[in-house]
Chain A
Amino acid sequence: GNSVTQMEGPVTLSEEAFLTINCTYTATGYPSLFWYVQYPGEGLQLLLKATKADDKGSNKGFEATYRKETTSFHLEKGSVQVSDSAVYFCALSDTGGFKTIFGAGTRLFVKA
């Protein structure tokens, strides 16, 4: 079945450091891939998405590229801020869109 594996946290970085959160997936067909972010005390919200191989999703300085050959969708940001502290979830959606599989989440702490 479909699955998503992302790096365990917590990840602790200093402000302006480079961020990478690894995500790999297993899926049949051609899923859509997503990164969601959850700030403290809130629900998840979509950060970025990609719907086909080699697509790059980007938002708020974050980027991720859909790599079919390595079944990966790693999240990157060149310079993190304290306000980026949150839990990040990698996810994939099956073709029909009825089910989304979420990774276990990676907590990011950014220190001033």
Chain B
Amino acid sequence: DTAVSQTPKYLVTQMGNDKSIKCEQNLGHDTMYWYKQDSKKFLKIMFSYNNKELIINETVPNRFSPKSPDKAHLNLHINSLELGDSAVYFCASSQSGTSRLHEQFFGPGTRLTVL
């Protein structure tokens, strides 16, 4: 009964390849996110989707393309991988609205290593 799940947990690939990371949440939330965490643990928002609509795109290279087939899923596809893409990628979800709770639930992360 994992709340936010991601696959794969580890991803090792060569420069120039294309790869995807999948995320699913079973919390009934309407908002999902992708974050990138670098080696110094700095967490940077990449994308946010609300009810399958893109609402935040934080100047991420267009090699990164998120796709949200429904409210429970937000996948991340990366084209032409570069060395600098090596990081841990976290998916998260939350419920928007006026409740002022807005806490985010994070997946376990996907460690991407580009060789």
A100 & B100 in contact (Cβ 8 Å cutoff): no
Interface membership of A58, Cβ < 8 A: no
Residue of chain B at shortest CB distance from A46? B103
A43 & B101 in contact (Cβ 8 Å cutoff): no
Residues of A in contact, count (CB < 8 Å) = 25
Interface membership of A93, Cβ < 8 A: yes
- Across the interface, A87 reaches (CB within 8 A) one of B41, B55, B96, B98, namely B41
Residues of chain B within 8 A (CB-CB) of A34 are 103
User: Which residue, B55, B104, B105, has most C-beta atoms of chain A within 10 A?
Assistant: B104
Interface membership of B63, Cβ < 8 A: no
Residue of chain B at shortest CB distance from A93? B102
A97 & B108 in contact (Cβ 8 Å cutoff): no
A97 & B56 in contact (Cβ 8 Å cutoff): no
Interface membership of B13, Cβ < 8 A: no
A99 & B41 in contact (Cβ 8 Å cutoff): no
Interface membership of B25, Cβ < 8 A: no
Chain B proximity of A100: nearest CB distance (Å): 6
Q: Which residues of A contact B (CB under 8 A)?
A: 32, 34, 36, 38, 42-46, 49, 51-52, 87, 89, 93, 95-100, 102, 104-105, 107
Q: Which residues of B contact A (CB under 8 A)?
A: 4, 31, 40-43, 45, 48, 50, 55-56, 90, 92, 94-109
The 5 closest A-B pairs by CB, nearest first: A43-B106, A97-B102, A93-B102, A97-B96, A51-B100
